[in-house]
Structure 1
Amino acid sequence: MTENNPVRINKYLSICGVTSRRGAEKLIEQQRVTINDHTAKVGELIDSTKDKVLVDGTEVKPADTHVYVVLNKPSRVMTTLHDPFKRRTVRQLLKRLNARVYPIGRLDYDTEGVLLMTNDGELAYRLTHPKFQVPRLYEAKVKGKFMERDSARIAAGIKLEDGARGHARVRILRHDEKSSTIRLVLTEGRKREVKQLCKLVGHPVVTLTRLEFGGITCRGIESGHWRELTIAEVNNLKGLVGLGK
């Protein structure tokens, strides 16, 4: 065995660029993963030098080369590789990319902007782990006149649907009686956190755009288009989460 063996099947699928570790759990629960002809179980250990792993009947192996992409995700596109309801997915926007990558975190169906994608499982895992506090910058148009007291409430922390406390740094760009435009910086990626925070202070989100993730922007990229990250950008992301160059 190598120093990376044994390895949990969830992590192995992430290393292979199939999906995130969380996504791997879903594949396993759906009984779409087999190890040496038996159905895999969540958390099962494998020896990657000996065991044969298949997803939907196709063998998967670690990627020879890591690929890192930033996509300017449009609204009304699913942040997933497959959708049972046949809605448009981010995978369909990457047809010219000759590598299998998966999203780092999620953007809601109606949210647009920066979406990082990769087949580097360890980097993806760390960038989304709360421990590393990787910043995400959002711009939201919300209903009503957003006030400094609302910013203070969000900065102090508000209890979310899952019982955790969500918080963000907020800057008001402009507002009137009907609507406001604000920017928020979050360092965790809980489900619909921006929308929950704004709704809980009385200002439901109308539109939401992610402007940055870990300092990466989609400036100059048309909606629905993508580019590969530069070496410097990849190294900066790795530096944020203690991976080095």
Structure 2
Amino acid sequence: MERLQKVMARAGIASRRKSEELIKEGRVKVNGKVVKELGIKVSSSDKVEVNEIQIEREEPVYFILYKPRGVISSVNDDKGRKVVTDYFSELKIRIYPVGRLDYDTSGLLLLTNDGEFANLLMHPRNEIEKVYVAKVKGIPLRENLKKLEKGIRLEDGKTAPAKVKMLSLDKKKQTSIIEIVIHEGRNRQVRRMFEAIGHEVMKLKRERYGFLTLNGLSAGDARELTPHEVKQLRAMAMESSKKNS
């Protein structure tokens, strides 16, 4: 037996909090009866409807994908471009990405059908480290990299402090390879951070998400997370949430 709002969140209906609102508004039925109590629990045999539509209750699945460049972090694209779910065409259930990597960025992306899990990881309070390696034009001055470490002001506000490490530089080609560690998830954040100090990102790859890496995977490869990895991620996000609440 699981709490109704948790079942709804896992089915991808809405976050757990939003699911609670739907219940209180009388928009949820269990076995044909409207329920408004938040404490109710349901079993796998119970019929749950939201706005008169029965929800699909699937076993939760969790994947890592090594997203190649030139792929959209979405379940579909109106321009007909390749999307991340194309790599799971044999999967019978619907999954979706946790957050996103932009079209020109490669690297580690999580996908799941567990809405509660996805919302937990993406919540701004849950400071899960994301490690990127960027190839940028020019050779940034140390003082400019320190600006990224302290947090830099973008059009949507100041970023949280980052960890930055120069990995290599090519004086002849005037390019640099830099590792940057952030825990936020703003749109095109890493690219915009480097642009703010005057250096365009030529290539960008997410190499790590929390403790997860791309070890053993090539671009376009995917693997299922182990139950222990899922448990670790959930615990990491919840611990971070407690610290920042």
Query: If the length of structure 1 is used for normalisation, what is the TM-score?
Result: 0.78
> How far apart, in 2, do the equivalents of 1:196 and 1:108 lie?
12
Partner of 2:235: 239
Alpha carbons 1:17, 1:62 under 8 Å: kept: no
Partner of 1:200: 196
Q: Sort the Cα spacing of 1:222 and 1:165 in 2 relative to 1 into closer, same or farther, 3 A.
A: closer
Partner of 1:61: 56
Could you tell me how far 1:48 is from its partner in structure 2?
A: 4.9
Q: Sort the Cα spacing of 1:153 and 1:48 in 2 relative to 1 into closer, same or farther, 3 A.
A: farther
Q: Sort the Cα spacing of 1:130 and 1:175 in 2 relative to 1 into closer, same or farther, 3 A.
A: same
1:168-207 equivalences in 2 (<5 Å): 168-177=162-171, 178-207=174-203
Q: Sort the Cα spacing of 1:140 and 1:165 in 2 relative to 1 into closer, same or farther, 3 A.
A: same
Structure 2 counterpart of 1:15, which letter? R
Could you tell me how far 1:59 is from its partner in structure 2?
A: 5.3
Partner of 2:27: 46
Could you tell me how far 1:230 is from its partner in structure 2?
A: 1.2
Structure 2 counterpart of 1:61, which letter? E
Q: Sort the Cα spacing of 1:48 and 1:153 in 2 relative to 1 into closer, same or farther, 3 A.
A: farther
Alpha carbons 2:132, 2:180 under 8 Å: kept: yes
Alpha carbons 1:129, 1:188 under 8 Å: kept: no
> How far apart, in 2, do the equivalents of 1:106 and 1:44 lie?
31
Could you tell me how far 1:85 is from its partner in structure 2?
A: 0.8
Give 3-state SS (helix, strand or coil) of 1:194's partner.
helix
Alpha carbons 1:167, 1:197 under 8 Å: kept: no
Q: Sort the Cα spacing of 1:154 and 1:101 in 2 relative to 1 into closer, same or farther, 3 A.
A: same
Kindly report the root-mean-square deviation, in angstroms, between the aligned alpha carbons of the 2 structures.
2.7
Identical-residue share of aligned pairs (%): 35
1:71-82 equivalences in 2 (<5 Å): 71-82=65-76
Give 3-state SS (helix, strand or coil) of 1:77's partner.
coil
> How far apart, in 2, do the equivalents of 1:44 and 1:109 lie?
39
Alpha carbons 2:10, 2:117 under 8 Å: kept: no
Could you tell me how far 1:107 is from its partner in structure 2?
A: 0.2
> How far apart, in 1, do the equivalents of 2:29 and 2:183 lie?
34
Could you tell me how far 1:100 is from its partner in structure 2?
A: 1.7
Alpha carbons 1:73, 1:223 under 8 Å: kept: yes
Could you tell me how far 1:46 is from its partner in structure 2?
A: 2.8
> How far apart, in 2, do the equivalents of 1:4 and 1:149 lie?
52
Q: Which runs of 5+ in 2 are unaligned?
A: 33-47, 240-245
Q: Pick from 91, 110, 125: which aligns with 1:97? A: 91
Q: Which runs of 5+ in 1 are unaligned?
A: 26-40
Alpha carbons 2:151, 2:158 under 8 Å: kept: no
Could you tell me how far 1:235 is from its partner in structure 2?
A: 1.5
> How far apart, in 1, do the equivalents of 2:124 and 2:84 lie?
24
Could you tell me how far 1:164 is from its partner in structure 2?
A: 3.9
> How far apart, in 2, do the equivalents of 1:182 and 1:151 lie?
10
> How far apart, in 2, do the equivalents of 1:69 and 1:98 lie?
14
Q: Tell me if 1:4 matches 2:19.
A: no
> How far apart, in 2, do the equivalents of 1:103 and 1:210 lie?
14
Give 3-state SS (helix, strand or coil) of 2:131's partner.
strand
Query: If the length of structure 2 is used for normalisation, what is the TM-score?
Result: 0.78
Could you tell me how far 1:228 is from its partner in structure 2?
A: 0.2
Alpha carbons 1:154, 1:167 under 8 Å: kept: yes
Partner of 2:223: 227
Could you tell me how far 1:53 is from its partner in structure 2?
A: 4.5
Q: Pick from 154, 160, 164: which aligns with 2:154? A: 160
